[in-house]
Chain A
Amino acid sequence: METKAPVLLNAVPPYGHVISSDKWRNSSLLQSLKGVKLIFENELGAADFHLPNKSRILYVSECDIIARNSYKRKLVRYRNSNSSSFQMLVLVENTRVSEQYFPAVQKFVAFDLGLTLLPISGQTEASQLLAQMVMKDNPFRRSSSSRLLDPLVLALVQQVPGVGRAKALALLQHFSSIGQLCNASPAELEPIVGHAAAQQIHNFFHKSSSSAAR
């Protein structure tokens, strides 16, 4: 029985490096991969490459796709090998020869297995993409949304018909939360916004708005 060191399966290379499965040595993909340091390893399990951003890559070639079925087993084995929080990517060669099968491949990879598929035309494009993935910057980094809630509360209160900014501000000075405002009686609202508006606001919150009778 083979005994695989789990350390290697979970190995994350340092920035600027790629861990590549041994079988890719001498491939045109790696030969055109410039400015990236390579570490060869034959214990990567089902994956072909490990990248510094904690992602694993499986390469599905045109041949794999045309031969049918064998690639599915490879993909399932790959998916099941994910022991930790790796991002699992699948590069799929989408060429003139394989494009007729592409929708079916995508269905299997993305819908059945829930993996991320990236189409490429061949090894040259794959190596360009890999080179980008090894780089560090991410223009889409999520801005942590530590937004102030006060303006949002103010905006919501203005959704009440007949309540503009001035009335909303006045109301929130007396009833500081939406919960308090909703549960205020018309009599409590009246000194702030007048009789008619007080009635209207109270009704708005308490009027039945459900389509289903309860």
Chain B
Amino acid sequence: SASPAPPGPVSILADSRCISNGVDLMSCLRQRHAATVHVCSLDGCYFIVSNRMAAERHSQSDLASMPNRKRLAERLNGLQGSFERVCLIVEKDRTKPGETSRPFQRTRFYDSTLTALVNTGVRLLWSSSPEESAGLLADLARLEQRKGQGIAVPLEVKGQHRQQALQLYSSLPSVNYAHALNMSHNFSSIAQLINSSVDDVQKGGCMGRTRAEEVYRFLRYSCDSFLMHTSKSGRSSSS
């Protein structure tokens, strides 16, 4: 299947938590950029723009504030576990009507956060408004689509059993929601995935080789029942 994807609308998944402060952005994505946006429940507040790329959006002041950094680091590390590419869109703070826009005070802390993000391989993009952020998300999705990484399956999964299968696929280690969606559209049953070769996991999940190998190994991983019971506590009392 080497045929180039038709330059149709791009598909973007958005976590439901992105809506609260992203109404403008969402409608801009749909209307001005003709993107197909599906809101679903991801495990954090972020967008998925391709099979391998996630994007978070933060205000500049959010990035500059002290208590958020640890949480941000944890979240981004988590995302890097299931996405090959992670982007952070830094958006200028919105000024309320009537308020004079204060120039952003750049601190050493802010600079060290930026440095750390760059060193960890997070891609930074800069935006001055929600509309511009929407444009960046659409551009990212389009670029990924051109590279053959766009989400090409329908963004919705219908039917209870399929939903449950999607849930199960999402709980595979290092598998992101886009991979899980691909799996639920490409495998005829859960058993088919479980019994697939590494090649087929890679193809069906639209994922990289290493990730497919990880899934393949995980499905065959033999649990140690002792380890499972230790979390129950109290049972293993040998002196």
Binding site for B on A (CB under 8 A): 53, 55, 87, 89, 94, 99, 102-103, 106-107, 110-111, 116-119, 121, 125, 128-129, 131-133, 135, 137-143, 145, 147-156, 159-161, 169, 172-173, 176-179, 182-183, 204-212, 214
Contact = CB atoms under 8 A, between A and B. Distances in A.
Q: Is the interface of A mostly helix, strand, loop or mixed?
A: mixed
A128 B132 CA distance: 27
B119 A111 contact: no
Contacts of A154: 223, 228
Contacts of A207: 161, 189
A140 B188 contact: no
B45 interface: no
Given A139-B70, A205-B194, A155 B116 contact: no
Contact residue range for chain B?
A: 35 or more
The 9 closest A-B pairs by CB, nearest first: A132-B111, A209-B165, A159-B168, A210-B188, A176-B222, A140-B116, A140-B120, A182-B194, A140-B73
A1 B135 CA distance: 45
Q: Chain B binding site: helix, strand, loop or mixed by DSSP? A: helix
B69 interface: yes
Interface in B214-239: 218-225, 227-229, 231
Contacts, number: 171
17 contacts: A103-B135, A106-B125, A110-B123, A118-B118, A131-B108, A132-B111, A137-B112, A140-B122, A150-B223, A152-B218, A172-B225, A177-B220, A178-B194, A178-B219, A179-B220, A183-B194, A211-B185
Chain A CB within 10 A, most for which of B187, B221, B228: B228
A136 B26 CA distance: 39
Contacts of A179: 194-195, 219-220
A129 B111 contact: yes
**Taking each of A128, A151, A205, which has the highest tally of chain B beta carbons within 10 Å of its own beta carbon?**
A205
Given A116-B123, A207-B161, A128 B167 contact: no
B102 interface: no
B97 to A, nearest CB: 21
A79 B168 CA distance: 43
Contacts of B161: 204, 207, 209
Interface stretch (B8-16, B35-43, B47-55, B75-83): B75-83
A36 to B, nearest CB: 14
Given A139-B69, A179-B195, A102 B120 contact: no
Nearest to B104: A121
B10 to A, nearest CB: 14
Contact of B111 (A128, A140, A143, A183): A128
A211 B181 CA distance: 11
A172 B185 contact: no
